[in-house]
Amino acid sequence: MKKRIKFAGFASLLIIAACAVITVNIYFPEKEVKEAYKALEKELMTDQKGVDQMPGTKPDEKPKPESSIHFELVTRAYAQEAGMAERIAEIVKKMPDVVDAYKGMGARIADTDRLRDSGSVGEGNNGLLSPREKTLSPADKKIVDMENENRQTVIKGMAKAIIRVNRAQETPENLKQVTPQATEQFTGIRRDAAKKGWWIQDANGNWGRK
């Protein structure tokens, strides 16, 4: 009986220890992630003529210079290092699938702008394009599906980059922890870059024109 009790106690300790290893508090530098997203779009999203182009801008428009990066004091020493946004962007640029996703998004800017201008799709509160009409033509539906697939790849890539910056393991649990924050920052950029008249969905699911 005593052996069983000891074994049960030992097993409980192992379970607690395993949970302690799995549960990792990953620091998420919101401002730096937003800066990294913007830098990656400037560098990787180009139109077919190779002209730098941001979502919601015309080919002859140049994006406004980004504000200087502001770093907050955090508990982890490595999070205080200068150039955090640049480090994050460099990690992402080493992910071929994410680079291809950015290029794909850049190549179809004219199409996604057309759909957003018409009001047939809007910027959803999950960072994805959301159809606002009951039916889209097969060609337009394919554009939306490809765009959203690319966006999901970009968001997942950013989540992986944050985990690596934290020197944590790339486990499903850690990805699950970080992905919502990576999605939130990406959604904010899409909302900020939206042109006047585009439909935008708020956090409560309500739609409105910018």
Q: State the Cα–Cα distance between residues 5 and 13, nearest whole angstrom.
A: 12
Per-residue burial over 39-69, b if 16 or more Cβ lie within 10 Å, else e, is bbbeebbbeeeeebbbbbbeeeeeeeeeeeb
Cβ neighbourhood burial of 35 (10 Å; 0-12, 13-18, 19+): buried
Amino acid found at 100: D
Q: Which of 85-89, 100-104, 133-137, 167-171 has the lowest mean pLDDT?
A: 133-137
Return d(Cα 195, Cα 97) in angstroms, integer: 28
Instruction: Sort strands 199-201 and 129-131 into parallel, antiparallel or unpaired.
Output: unpaired
**CA distance linking residue 37 with residue 189, whole number of Å:** 8
CA atoms of 120 and 130, how far apart (whole Å): 9
CA distance 208 to 124: 11
Residue 199 — φ and ψ, nearest 5°?
-85, 135
Report the pLDDT averaged over residues 7-21: 50
pLDDT greater than 80 at residue 28: yes
Kindly state the helix (H) or strand (E) to which residue 89 belongs, with its residue range: helix 84-93
Give the pTM: 0.75
Alpha carbons within 13 angstroms on the beta-carbon side of residue 154 total 34
pLDDT at 15: 53
pLDDT in tens, 99-141: 999 999 999 999 999 999 999 999 999 999 999 877 899 999 9
- The first and second tokens of residue 137, run together, are 């033509």
pLDDT band at 25 (very low <50, low <70, confident <90, very high): confident
Tokens 């182009």 found at: 53
CA distance 6 to 208: 62
